[in-house]
Structure 1
């Protein structure tokens, strides 16, 4: 592949330098990646090595657990859990941007039950956070057992829930296409809020499957200028003919600045290829679907190695999705 611009989502934050720097595996700093020379090809305005030295050659403390109260709980069709929790003012303020997520677990469970969940709604006035969780496996089924007014453990903030984040943060007064399927509606909502706040026109293509209804319908009516409901995927993981036709049509009809997709990687990848074939100047972003376990780059669950043999820690690495999705050994 060509030169890959990237950054670390934690660079310059209170969590940098992290354990990766201490172990000689820093994403950005060549000195803290086992090399004996400075090669800041992706300079971010902060010298991580200097921060490491001034911190007595130690990593900064990582994220801590906070005990938060469940304000409300709703289960829809035995498939979808909507949780609203009361959190500290600091934590709420740190989770305001698109791509923010936390780890949730019940107090009476071990750390292996940590469940990464995107922030769907952030209310800084009432200091609450709302999450939408698809009930599927052991972790999410355990979370669904929690009751209102009970406490759960929240670990955060984490910010790398979206790949290709900068175009979303910088886009103003443009036309944007947003695509979501299933639980992807949850991370889509903060993206819609940010883009609408910056006076962008939003066209949304949405697939409610596997749910019976669109659970962000009220917010769609508030933020979207046009909504297109359609089935995105058919059996075998291929795009449905109707969705592909609709996608190609809207790409021809509008001068999009950004296309953002919140779905499984197989859908993200196929949409990205169609967008690139139409116009390579359109910025593409998507949700980060890698498996998160520790969120700190230590456990290795989020690592991928593409055909270029480069190891990428996707809980921290912020890059253009094409460098992540292209050349995947397993989609």
Structure 2
């Protein structure tokens, strides 16, 4: 049984209290959940109940939409599109953090907004880089965007990565990053943070199902040479991946970031448990479906034992906790 600390990614920020607090569904505040006493689940230095009262019992103003100029577009065989656009400086600063993402508007209808992780946010040039995989009705519209066009984005959002506390705790150590497919995009802010905290970072990339390594140029800027291996075979960890993890643990790695689908994260956790290495800290991509980004629509919710419902667009969690007690039906 994992002792779980509940945390809200927006608590204590300019976007708190939010609509959940207004409706009595705050993730942290017991009084806003209908209790008669104060028992804050995770104190963030700000009383959410008092903040709501001071704001006239209304939620703070939500995220804004910004019209940004597209500076560069790279099309990888109409499978993946890399877009670089210029954003306001404040937004560029907010999107530097690991787990940052935005909603990109691809149609006048707001229902066509797509959540996209930030690959890089350059606070000197205010240029933000995103990587979009072309999959369906919404993302196909991205192919129509041209250089010097304007795109509308909404943000900032920050819960694109689970285990952020574990990332921030890494200082002067050794870290392993396992990335697969489009996961190379959200891994870059994590790598940037690890390097800023003087960590020795080893990166292994599984390009499946693509041919290109979309992060090669950014990795070169950090003087990192990635290794190419298949991390999954028939839905299980490949022998290569197991050897990589074992060797990393022998070299003193105590933190692993998993940038890929849930199946990769689940298998890495299972393998570490088999090695009895629960001491290894983890972070991973948030792969829950996002729609509103505010915990209101329910698209990101998952049900767990004990009739618990978690809103994963806001609730920050340890990677091990998102699978323990989770109901898959």
Matches within 5 A, 1:290-305: 290-305=288-303
1:250 aligned residue: 248
1:144 to partner: Cα distance = 2.1
* Counterpart for residue 97 of structure 1: 97
Within 5 Å, which residues of 2 pair with 1:1-331?
1-106=1-106, 108-223=107-222, 227-235=226-234, 237-251=235-249, 253-278=250-275, 279-330=277-328
Q: Which runs of 5+ in 2 are unaligned?
A: none
Displaced runs of 4 or more, over 6 A: none
> Scaled by the length of structure 1, what TM-score is found?
0.95
Q: Write the distance in 2 (CA, Å) between the matches of 1:56 and 1:125.
A: 38
Output the CA distance in 2 between the equivalents of 1:214 and 1:51.
46
- 1:249-300 CA deviation, whole Å, 9 max, x = no partner? 332x221131110100011111122234432221111011110000000000
Against the structure 1 CA distance between its residues 215 and 322, is the aligned structure 2 distance closer, same or farther, given a 3 Å change threshold? same
Q: CA RMSD in A?
A: 1.6
CA distance in 2, matches of 1:185, 1:2: 29
Conserved 8 A contact 2:237-2:264:
yes
Q: Secondary structure at 2:151's aligned position in 1?
A: strand
Q: Separation in 2 of the partners of 1:308 and 1:274?
A: 27
Q: Distance in 2 between matches of 1:185 and 1:330?
A: 27
Q: Distance in 2 between matches of 1:122 and 1:198?
A: 18
Q: What are the superposed Cα offsets for residues 214-266 of structure 1, whole Å, 9 maximum, x if unpaired? A: 1111233443656331111223x222233223322332x22113111010001
Which runs of 5 or more residues in structure 1 are unaligned?
Answer: none
Q: Secondary structure at the match of 1:148?
A: coil
Conserved? CA contact 2:301–2:312, under 8 Å = yes
2:92 partner SS: helix
**Aligned length in residues:** 328
- The answer to whether the 8 Å contact 1:201/1:225 transfers is no
- 1:115-159, Cα deviation, whole Å (9 max, x unpaired): 000110111111110001111111111122111111111100000
Contact 1:204 1:224 in 2 (8 A): no
